[in-house]
Structure 1
């Protein structure tokens, strides 16, 4: 087996961006430099998640600066007509030689309503199925229209007029769809629609259990999926160096930040004071937090090299989620990635801070130790210490 490694291509950035003092004020120039780095180092691609910028616009603007990386672009169904999105995708693929992937985001009720999508939770998945089915048909060149419950497209005439001339599809059978969904409705939607099923990280055995449950549901309808996860990474030549960096990250956090983050993980009606975890490591860390102190970096290691310390995506003290981090020497982090692979994970969306520096470090230290499935040869570039542009200025502290 082999794996795909993707990087993160979305603001913010900085040495510790979860704190305003450690967050840079980035712009398009910075994103372009980051994209060039990802491309030249040989990553399979990069995730452009939801942010203040429209992800598809950013990706389009970076086509000419890159050659082979794929752009995994977050997209909510309903933001655009599926026919309009299909034409955008045909154009992007024609100009980039087929380097577009979509990350299907189903969002939440309030956020989607602000975009004009007004469906309750489970019905939203029914709408998404139709939306992406219509998108795929139009992208593939179907001009017969679409008559669904939620999506209705009139037939399109082909011809010499600007409205009738579209690019043919570049990727066949279509643009791969990546995405997630954990509720029963979300899993049913995922196994019918997606090519790559994504999940926040957990320990390798627990993530593998989740992927196997999803795979069993997919098998019921005759489908097989690939599986991916999202991880931050602190990799160094030695364990001591890696954990020293984790301790430094912890020093840039606070009890208040940790508590706010933990409270966002709590189920409704539960407080941190009455929360109880079956995992003694997690419960010990909660008790430390309630005493007004932060755990040490090593106390936040809940599985070998799996860390739940501070991150842009959260301080997951109650258990692995969007901010889970791999910490360790190159050999140990590579061993952990192989353990995830053995549990069914094919793709890893990674990040480390600052993004450009850590992209170099991961490529230099990890790529030679892994069997990569990137569709092209990834040489050992030895680029960790190559000069890069100066970082953008820090934003003013809040």
Structure 2
């Protein structure tokens, strides 16, 4: 069974507990952060997207040139750059950095205010329809043997063609996320890897089953990624103490009047409902930060010793997850610690499932 381990890098030392430090681009920190992931044994790192943040393609170029084998997953929102141009940008970066190290993650957008900052006022389902056409055009640009015309709902091109292609026969993987019915249809038809948030195993298994059925209707198969926040320590009690410390720091930084972002994200709403139902799910899935930060996406945590967290992640792999994305509350320090204690266990468990 294929296993891929993802981390996440940023241009500054920022998290719920470290603060944000808006506007800072610390190139030295980014270099050390990327190299720490490579040294810890990660396969790939996600580069996030926000309408006020650094450009992901430039960040990816820095990460790729600061490392030797580490791959990148560049998040972007379809609708702001033409798909023909994005296809050439990705293929160029793939060719210039050794080949096979570039992937793209499509986020159709659930944060209304952030969409509008970049001039996007399309509604939820229309954004997903646009993503479907975007992904289809990416694949066509990379595979076309001659110039082609396209006239769709969102994009029209005449004589589109690219002389630069992905560097390897496997091409550039398309990752995708979304929980609404509109999202399921898009991901089932166009994605290579469908990204899921950390929910109870039963719900994750149900989502995977539904997505597999939707993909089969298009004659396709999907891979699945789970995003989670490990909190580990030498003992389980110490791990829960650390979780409470993280909660206290997050609450202090957020403040009692912390405004929730306006979100149409179905997945975020489901996480909030689960947090309201119980702070803990399964053996060690913790929603303490989810309840504090509102619709913020990847906020659920697995709390315990490295062995306990590795076993919990193994449980997700047994229901169909083959890619794990983990990021820390102490971002750089956690990566170094995971490289010593958690990653070797994940690799050993993955080898046992082959």
TM (normalized to structure 1)? 0.75
Greater fraction helix: 2
Task: Write out per-residue CA displacement over residues 159-187 of structure 1, whole angstroms, 9 at most, x where no aligned residue.
Answer: xxxxx8x4333133531111112111111
In the alignment, structure 1 residue 194 sits paired with structure 2 residue 223 = no
CA distance in 1, matches of 2:296, 2:308: 19
2:157 equivalent in structure 1? 153
2:211 equivalent in structure 1? 214
Contact 1:3 1:373 in 2 (8 A): no
Deviation for aligned residue 1:117: 4.6
5+ residue gaps, structure 2? 265-271
1:144 equivalent in structure 2? 147
Q: How many residues align?
A: 340
Alignment of 1:4-153 (within 5 A): 4-14=4-14, 17-18=16-17, 20=19, 27-51=26-50, 52-96=53-97, 97-108=99-110, 111-117=114-120, 119-140=122-143, 142-149=145-152, 150-153=154-157
Deviation for aligned residue 1:359: 0.6
Deviation for aligned residue 1:18: 4.5
CA distance in 1, matches of 2:187, 2:325: 18
CA distance in 1, matches of 2:91, 2:348: 28
Contact 2:5 2:42 in 1 (8 A): yes
CA distance in 1, matches of 2:17, 2:23: 11
Alignment of 1:268-347 (within 5 A): 282-283=276-277, 300-310=279-289, 314-315=290-291, 322-347=298-323
2:182 equivalent in structure 1? 185
Deviation for aligned residue 1:336: 0.1
Contact 1:102 1:177 in 2 (8 A): yes
Structure 1 residues 24 and 212 mapped into 2: Cα distance closer, same or farther (>3 Å)? same
SS in 1 for 2:238: helix
Q: After the TM superposition, which of the residue ranges 181-190 and 107-116 deviates more from structure 2?
A: 107-116
Task: Write out per-residue CA displacement over residues 367-389 of structure 1, whole angstroms, 9 at most, x where no aligned residue.
Answer: 222237999xxxxxxxxxxxxxx
SS in 1 for 2:94: helix
Structure 1 residues 251 and 172 mapped into 2: Cα distance closer, same or farther (>3 Å)? same
Task: Write out per-residue CA displacement over residues 40-87 of structure 1, whole angstroms, 9 at most, x where no aligned residue.
Answer: 222011110114111111101222211111111011112212121111
Structure 1 residues 319 and 98 mapped into 2: Cα distance closer, same or farther (>3 Å)? closer
Structure 1 residues 338 and 11 mapped into 2: Cα distance closer, same or farther (>3 Å)? same
CA distance in 1, matches of 2:28, 2:335: 17
SS in 2 for 1:202: coil
Structure 1 residues 321 and 112 mapped into 2: Cα distance closer, same or farther (>3 Å)? closer
Alignment RMSD: 3.4
**Which one scores higher on RCO, CA 8 angstroms, separation ≥ 6?**
1
CA distance in 2, matches of 1:90, 1:217: 29
CA distance in 2, matches of 1:145, 1:126: 21
Deviation for aligned residue 1:252: 1.8
5+ residue gaps, structure 1? 158-163, 268-276, 286-299, 376-398
Deviation for aligned residue 1:236: 2.1
Q: After the TM superposition, which of the residue ranges 108-117 and 125-134 deviates more from structure 2?
A: 108-117
Contact 1:316 1:324 in 2 (8 A): no
Structure 1 residues 156 and 324 mapped into 2: Cα distance closer, same or farther (>3 Å)? closer
